């Protein structure tokens, strides 16, 4: 996997550059906290400024929520089942996942779906890992990489 975390930039609704992320709790973090970290930043080309604002606000509404650490084994089970079957399996995260708790990538996908509708990243938000989001953005013509220090 190329990426292991995902967050949403708050853009113009924040007084300083910040993201909303899910790390033990859903919280706001200054972008400067990632100054020395490997980072890739994607931007959806087809969104209006109002949609970007609504997506950031949707993520911000989750502020203070609990991180869904118990979901991590479900992602591992999906990955093992995918390797064993030769096709993408999202059964464990979709069926057994706790719908009200979100890991980082689910927070991102849920926020987009709250504004744009179902499967904004090609699959249900409950089943998306950070690497799934990165892959989707990489292969979609509607996303552009704004910054990449991962390579």
Please give the backbone phi and psi of residue 85, each rounded to the nearest 5 degrees, phi first: -90, -20
Distance from C-alpha of 100 to C-alpha of 49, rounded to nearest angstrom: 28
Query: Which is it for strands 25-30 and 18-23: parallel, antiparallel or unpaired?
Result: antiparallel
Taking the model in full, what pTM does it have? 0.83
Q: Which residues of 123-146 are buried (b: 16+ CB within 10 A; e: fewer)?
A: bbbbbbbbbbbbbbbeeeeebeee
pLDDT tens, residue order, the chain (151 aa) = 789 899 999 998 999 999 999 988 899 999 999 999 999 999 999 999 999 999 999 999 999 887 777 777 887 888 899 899 998 887 887 777 666 778 899 999 999 999 999 899 998 888 888 999 999 999 999 999 999 998 7
């Amino acid at each position: 996997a190329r990426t292991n975390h995902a967050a949403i930039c708050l853009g113009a609704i924040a007084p300083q550059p910040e993201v909303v992320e899910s790390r033990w709790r859903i919280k706001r973090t200054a972008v400067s906290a990632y100054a020395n970290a490997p980072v890739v930043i994607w931007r959806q080309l087809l969104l209006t400024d109002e949609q970007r604002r609504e997506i950031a606000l949707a993520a911000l509404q989750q502020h203070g929520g609990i991180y869904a650490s118990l979901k991590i084994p479900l992602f591992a089970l999906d990955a093992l089942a995918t390797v064993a079957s030769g096709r993408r399996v999202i059964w464990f995260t979709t069926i057994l996942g706790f719908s009200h708790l979100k890991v980082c990538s689910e927070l991102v996908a849920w926020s987009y779906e709250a504004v744009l509708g179902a499967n904004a990243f090609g699959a249900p938000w409950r089943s998306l890992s950070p690497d799934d989001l990165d892959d989707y953005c990489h292969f979609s013509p509607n996303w552009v990489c704004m910054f990449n220090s991962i390579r």
